[in-house]
Amino acid sequence: MGEKISIDPRVLAVREKANAAKEAFKVADGELLDVYGEVLREHGHNPDDIVIPGTWDCEKSPVGKCVYDFYQDPARDCCLYCGQPEERK
Ligand SMILES: [Zn+2]
């Protein structure tokens, strides 16, 4: 068994920065979902019925992304705002 060596402080410093960034991302991502829900509710949708895959930008959507109704349109064939499917080339 060799002697245990301590991790280089440069590694620890950057690791700490990376962990803080991941944490900040999680918080912001959660806020994004909340604000999507809020905006869609104001636009007359029930956010619980809605899915926003986030794949496509949508010029007609108030959240800037294509929005699908997962009860009426589980295959995501028709964005509520622009009518485009989720699956496209
Ligand atoms: Zn769209």
Domains held by the chain: number = 1
The residue range of the domain holding 29 is 9-69
What is the predicted pLDDT for the residue at 82? 97
Q: Does residue 1 register a pLDDT over 70?
A: no
Q: How far is the CA of 17 from the centre of ligand 1 (A)?
A: 36
Instruction: For residue 11, report the distance from its CA to the centre of ligand 1, in Å.
Output: 43
Residue 21 lies in a domain: yes
Expressed in angstroms and rounded, the spacing between residue 28 Cα and the centre of ligand 1 is 23
Residue 79 lies in a domain: no
Q: What is the pLDDT of residues 3-18, one digit of tens each?
A: 899 999 999 999 999 9
38 C-alpha to ligand 1 centroid (Å): 18
* 39: in domain: yes
Give a yes or no: residue 1 inside a domain.
no
Q: How far is the CA of 84 from the centre of ligand 1 (A)?
A: 6
pLDDT for res 29: 92
pLDDT at 54: 86
Mean pLDDT over residues 26-55, rounded?
Answer: 93
Q: What is the pLDDT of residue 11?
A: 97
DSSP secondary structure letters along 12-72: HHHHHHHHHHHHHHHHHHHHHHHHHHHHHHHTT--GGGEE----SB-TTSTTSB--EETTT
